[in-house]
Structure 1
Amino acid sequence: MTQVRPRMTHLFEQLGLDSSEQAIQLFISTHQLPAATKITEADYWSAGQRQFLAEKIKSDGEWAIIVDQLNEALHEDSLIQ
């Protein structure tokens, strides 16, 4: 049995969000976070979504890499000087 490596589209599916490329780009551009706000502290997540993200970060597995990529994308504006 072959295991599929998680991707950003899979993460959005697991979060119950539209996983099309355009929807992901729109979500990222419209949900930017201040530098001091952790991804799991964003007010737009439901309790379940927040828990899912926290669990995947703690797992330090392949999902953690994808969540970290989303975290970086959601903080892009805070890094621009």
Structure 2
Amino acid sequence: MEAYDHPFSELFDQLGLASDPDSIKRFIDHHAPIPEDVALPDAPCWNEGQSELLREALETDADWAEVVDHLDASLRKSG
């Protein structure tokens, strides 16, 4: 199986969000931390399509799974 190395910014593009470094930082600062008992796709910051994209990436261990895990970890941190 071919491994993919998607940049963090590409995931934000896929989610339909601004993907420049400042916008990514603002998004994370605004929405973090999400509670540990809330799955990333169920966090209130996503619309239905974004939730589905994240859920599918995690459930199918898609080539996006690693960068989605990075997003999850980033949104779990406070401050």
Bin the TM-score by the shorter chain.
0.7 to 0.9
C-alpha distance 4-61 of structure 1, shift in aligned 2 (>3 A): closer
Measure how far apart 1:17 and its partner are. Answer: 0.2
Q: Secondary structure at the match of 2:26?
A: helix
Measure how far apart 1:13 and its partner are. Answer: 0.1
Find the counterpart in structure 2 of residue 71 from structure 1. Answer: 72
Q: Which has the higher helix share?
A: 1
TM-score by length of 2: 0.86
TM-score by length of 1: 0.84
Which runs of 5 or more structure 2 residues have no equivalent in the other structure? none
Q: What CA distance in whole angstroms lies between the structure 2 residues aligned with 1:7 and 1:56?
A: 15
Measure how far apart 1:11 and its partner are. Answer: 0.3
Find the counterpart in structure 2 of residue 5 from structure 1. Answer: 5
Instruction: Give RMSD over aligned pairs.
Output: 1.8
Identity %: 33
After the TM superposition, which of the residue ranges 3-12 and 43-52 deviates more from structure 2? Answer: 3-12
Corresponding residue pairs, total: 76
The amino acid that maps onto 2:31 is H
